[in-house]
Chains A and B, each alone.
Chain A
Amino acid sequence: MLSTDSPSSSFPSCGRAEALRDYAFDELPADERLAMEQHLAACGDCVLELDRLRLTTAALHTLPDREIPQRFAFVSDRVFEPSPLRRFWNSGTLLGQNLLGFASACVLAAALVVSAWHLSAVSRPAEGRTVVQSASAAAASPEQINAAVAKAVAQVRVQIAEGDAQMIRAAIQTSERKRDAEYRDQMVAIGENFMVLQKRLNMTYARLSSDEVAGSGAGQ
């Protein structure tokens, strides 16, 4: 590595080395730039130093820029970035899934309790209060929650069974009524048919008897 000492800090001898370099790199303010140009017209050292600087920078510029071997491109986060819920699900693994499973179970239990309370409140207000009390007490421990849920499920089952029995009874009654009506209709139809047949038979007898009478008259 080269030394950091400036090898030509005393050159040019006029003492305007820094201003000259600022001038060479176009960093000199406009008024000082004009003064430097006037100085250059009279100072041979500064002209020589300026030529050296320009030669050096020209030599440095012989190093070409390289083309970048691979272009960069960014894509929209909104398209490829997973949703916050998905990131939580993916990153949380067991923890996230367990939490969600527990939350699902809680929601299901709450739905069952509320549903049972609602059904009981409609049919039997006194028992409904019991369910609500059980639900509020259920928050205390999992055993109480399970007992309350089992009780609510049993009540719902009883209600469903009662409903089913009522429906079956009503269906049987309807069916019986329908069958009686059909029987009556059939009997009426049979009666009517019998009467029609009887009339036709009477008419046939009447025609035969009239033919016999006509035949005997002609024979005499």
Chain B
Amino acid sequence: MTGPEESVEARLERILRDFGTRLGALLRGYRLERHGVDPADIEQEVRIRLWKAIERDRSGAFHASYVQKVVATTVIDALRRAEVRAAEPLPEDDDEPGQLPEDGVSPEQSASDGERMSGLQRCLGEIPERRRLPITMHLQGFSLQEIADVVGVSAEAARKLVSRGLDELKSRLRELGYGDFDD
């Protein structure tokens, strides 16, 4: 009577394989290789760790949060290894993109950015933290729902906080002479 067991096993293997593929796509989508990690390595290591965990613990319930934790731990470990490698002297490898900023910045732009960054930092510092966090999270790339979940407010409240905060920030930057960010 191994028919049903085999199909369950095969299904689990397929889902685990799909999960690895999806993880690899997300790692590449978020360009984690910028941080010195190899998405393929992480994908493989996550699959191995998950399979070991599945085989090790056959009694208790398997939670999605545990799967997430395995992914996070594996990525953090890979980042730590990458950091150690980065600290070591590297052989000549001009093809590697290295740790350059994500966008190419000209010297003129860099000088201008320096001023604007100082202005931005100053303006953000003037906003109380509770109101500043949704703005900075939004500027960092979090969606409104993600901001709401982390900060602990509704999505609508997050939208209002971000919208008002951005208006306030832009006005203050303009007042201080850092230009109009509309352009």
Partners in one complex: no
Contacts from B to A (Cβ < 8 Å): none
